[in-house]
A = this chain, B = another copy of it.
Amino acid sequence: MNRPVTISLDAMGGDIGADVVVPAALGYLKQDKKTALILVGDEDTLQAMLGNHGFGDRLRIKHASEVVAMDELPSKALRNKKDSSMRVAIDLVKSGDADACVSAGNTGALMATSRFVLKMLPNIDRPAIITALPSITGQTFMLDLGANVDCSAGHLFQFAVMGSETVSAVTDISNPTIGLLNIGQEEIKGNEQVKQAHELLHASSLNYVGYVEGDDVFQGGTDVIVADGFVGNIALKSSEGVAKMIRHFMRLEFKKNLLTQLAGLIALPVLRSLAKRIDHRHYNGASLLGLRGIVIKSHGGADKIAFMNAISIARKEVSSDVPSRIAEQVKAHLDKRETA
């Protein structure tokens, strides 16, 4: 290709839409001079917001007349909104006009549409969602975060391969450690799928370290944690819930009276520095893996900084061609298993 790396953005998706995506696009182009972006959505709206942006061909608009609502049923969005900003952004990846796509829209619709338009990679049954989470020692990647419920051991194994490849592609870890989320090591514990996946992983050439428990996600020490989508989603959401609760109580305590307000003022730089460490915005951008193309899901409520981070993740995955790496590795593991 003679064009620069190009990423299509669903400009109307998310809780806020263009008011976040447009500033994020402008911010991103300033910091990455080699990448082009295509804003997909209502042309008049976007044109009016952009004005004379000065990025020339690196920032273009592609018109789409519809928007997928955040609460729209995925099947309905897929069937009825063929000119939605989400659909057109994905179509651009399919046609080769874009190398990746980022959307803050409805997760279910994004997954269903991506799967329909781009198709699955060979030997992968189901797409999975992966994201990085902060941990004491750095970061932990976890998948699946909600695309799949009722997974078989084979699905969990595929997730492990996809997670391993993605993490080695987007970080500097060459052979990521893989853990399988379970509830401890006593004999009554662990469900059937997990026990079988444990055997498959043990027998593979992946850097498998065994079972990990819920608290290991944030303690660090494991690069990739594999779970079925139901469990992964609950773990993610519960953790977000605790963090929110602590933040809420901290504000309440510091606001109690003049003295605590003063203490809060003095502690402010420290608290800010703490907040920065676990700022979810720096972790925004979940990858939809297993597809013949790169699709990044931004949090629906993402702000400019968070959305820019999601674009960066898309860019990294393009550089290292994550889908091809996944396809190769899954095939290699299958071949090895057949030879064994």
Contacts and interface: CB of A to CB of B under 8 A. Distances in A.
A216 B245 CA distance: 10
A245 B134 contact: yes
A154 interface: no
A207 B199 CA distance: 42
A238 B253 contact: no
Contacts of A269: 260, 263
Contacts of A71: 185
This chain: copies in complex: 2
A214 interface: yes
Interface-central residue, A192, A236, A238, A274, by most chain B CB under 10 Å: A238
A234 B236 contact: no
Question: Which DSSP category, helix, strand, loop or mixed, fits chain A's interface?
Answer: helix
A108 interface: yes
A239 interface: yes
A173 interface: no
A198 B137 CA distance: 40
A183 B107 contact: no
Contacts of A264: 267, 270
Contacts of A186: 73-74, 106-108
Contacts of A188: 74, 108, 111-112, 147
Given A183-B234, A186-B107, A218-B238, A273 B246 contact: no
A122 interface: no
Interface stretch (A14-22, A51-59, A86-94, A224-232): A224-232
A209 interface: no
A126 to B, nearest CB: 11
B254 A149 contact: no
Contact of A253 (B244, B249, B263, B274): B274
8 contacts: A136-B244, A146-B184, A213-B237, A214-B241, A231-B234, A234-B234, A238-B238, A267-B270
